[in-house]
Every structure is written in C-alpha cells, then in structure tokens.
C-alpha cells in the first residue's frame, strides 16, 4: 500500500463561502476521497491548524508521498517543519506540490529558485499532455479543457524540469509548464498547476487521474528513508596492491 498524507492550509474553506461551497469538507478531504477509492492507496490528512502542522516525525515516518496545497499562509509554516519535509524528500519520500504550492517553503527549498510566476484569476485553460508515455499521463487524454482556472504564466522560475508532462495554455494567450517532474536526492517531486480554490478543478475526473498517477509515480520503490549518506574514509572492496595480496 502507498501511504499518502494530504496537507492543506485549510484557510480558504473557512474564510470563503464560495470555497466552502465547492469543497465543503475542505480541499484535503476532496483529494483524500478520490485517492481512497484506489485499492493500493491509503490516505491521511493534515492541516496548518493541527499541532506541528499535522506533520510529526511519526506521521512523516509513515508517509510515502506527501501532497501539499497552500496559498495564503505559506509563511505560517515553521521553517523547521519545511526543512524537515525537504529532508524527507531527499531521503526518498515523494512530494506533490499542487497549484500555489509553487510558493510553499518545502517546494522552494527543494527547487532552490524563486519559483515565481505571473498570474490572473478568471481565465480558462487547456491542459496539453506533452509526454503521453509518462506514467503520470497514463489514461489521460491528449488535452483537458478546464472551464475556469487561475492563469499561471511563464516565466516560471524553476530549475529545468527533468520531465515535462503537461503544458497549460490560457485563453489570454499565456502558456505554462503545468506538470513538471524532478528527482531530489532519493525522492521524486511533481508540480501540478491546476487547482485554484474557487474553481471545482479537483472534482474533474481527469485531474483526479493525474494526481492518482502522480502518487504512484512518486512513491518510493521501497522504504529507503534515513539511508546513511556517509562522508567517511572507507577501505577498498578490492585489493589495490600486490603487498595487500600477500597479507591476505
């Protein structure tokens, strides 16, 4: 089983009737619900208002893939927790940054760039699958029309993606690298742009398919957390000199 933790700021749902109308149980529980429909995935949720943001060592120890949704309160996440999450990714945990999580502390730590972009609300998007043989694109059509979505436009200040799976086109003329993959240390990272809180994007079956695929892609093949990455002087595996051979 792949153990997923869905982390959500959980503020918009409390502050906006529109958002609460679209995601009555919160964005995290919407994501939990379609992930939980898969036989190989188990899901827990965590939010900003939970103790330690819901991300204790015990929870992270028990997480194969962490999904992150945040928008208006990135700064409220303590640096210590962000650093711990980034380290877990280096140790092998998968990390999926959704929508405005491009500005979340853990994602910025993992990318090492500003992760800035241009934006505008109230646009419509056509999301193009540009790498149909990638595991995250499995079963996803050549393009998906999203009737209302926030425009995110280039330049997106990220390191060059190792694999680019989706490109978003917006009615205003902009384009965006909407689905990007990287490896950081032993962990896999996927950034996925759609998912503004006032749009019902996470109710779209194709968007759900992409996030389900991303969980399977990002999950470590085996538990490799806390692998010693030593920096120590070691003896050679093989004999280096004749003199050594005589000793043996």
User: Which residues of the shown chain bind Zn ion in the complex (CB under 5 A)?
Assistant: 100, 150, 196
CB of 154 to Zn ion, least distance (A): 16
Nearer to Zn ion, 192 or 225 (CB): 192
Instruction: Please tell me the distance from the alpha carbon of residue 174 to that of residue 93, in angstroms, as a whole number.
Output: 33
Q: Helix-strand-coil percent breakdown of the chain, rounded to 5?
A: 35, 30, 40
Tokens 């959980």 — which residue? 10
Nearer to Zn ion, 63 or 201 (CB): 201
Q: Is 183 helix (H, G, I), strand (E, B) or coil?
A: strand
Instruction: Please tell me the distance from the alpha carbon of residue 179 to that of residue 194, in angstroms, as a whole number.
Output: 9
CB of 228 to Zn ion, least distance (A): 40
Nearer to Zn ion, 153 or 220 (CB): 153
Q: Is 17 helix (H, G, I), strand (E, B) or coil?
A: helix
Cα angle 52-53-57, degrees, rounded to a multiple of 5: 55
Nearer to Zn ion, 120 or 155 (CB): 120
CB of 221 to Zn ion, least distance (A): 33
Nearest position to Zn ion, beta carbon: 196
Nearer to Zn ion, 122 or 132 (CB): 122
Instruction: Count how many Cα atoms sit within 13 Å of the Cα of residue 114 in the half-sphere of its side chain.
Output: 6
- Which residues contact residue 58 at a Cβ distance below 8 angstroms, ignoring those fewer than 6 apart? none
CB of 152 to Zn ion, least distance (A): 8
CB of 232 to Zn ion, least distance (A): 46
């Amino acid at each position: 089983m792949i153990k997923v933790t869905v982390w959500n700021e959980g503020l918009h749902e409390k502050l906006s009737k529109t958002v609460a109308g679209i995601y009555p149980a919160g964005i995290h529980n919407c994501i939990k619900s379609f992930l939980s429909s898969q036989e190989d995935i188990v899901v827990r949720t965590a939010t900003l208002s939970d103790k330690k943001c819901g991300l204790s060592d015990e929870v992270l120890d028990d997480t194969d893939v962490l999904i992150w949704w945040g928008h208006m309160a990135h700064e409220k996440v303590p640096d210590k927790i962000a650093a711990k999450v980034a380290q877990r990714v280096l140790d092998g945990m998968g990390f999926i940054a959704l929508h405005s999580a491009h500005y979340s502390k853990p994602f910025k730590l993992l990318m090492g760039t500003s992760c800035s972009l241009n934006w505008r609300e109230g646009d419509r998007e056509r999301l193009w699958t540009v790498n149909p043989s990638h595991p995250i694109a499995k079963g996803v059509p050549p393009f998906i029309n999203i009737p209302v979505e926030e425009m995110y436009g280039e330049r997106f200040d990220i390191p060059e993606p190792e694999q680019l799976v989706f490109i978003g086109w917006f009615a205003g003329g902009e384009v965006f690298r909407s689905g990007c993959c990287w490896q950081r240390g032993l962990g896999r990272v996927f950034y996925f742009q759609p998912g503004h809180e006032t749009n019902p994007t996470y109710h779209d079956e194709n968007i759900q398919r992409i996030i389900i695929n991303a969980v399977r892609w990002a999950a470590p093949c085996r538990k490799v957390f806390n692998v010693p990455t030593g920096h120590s002087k070691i003896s050679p595996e093989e004999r280096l000199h004749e003199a050594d051979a005589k000793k043996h």
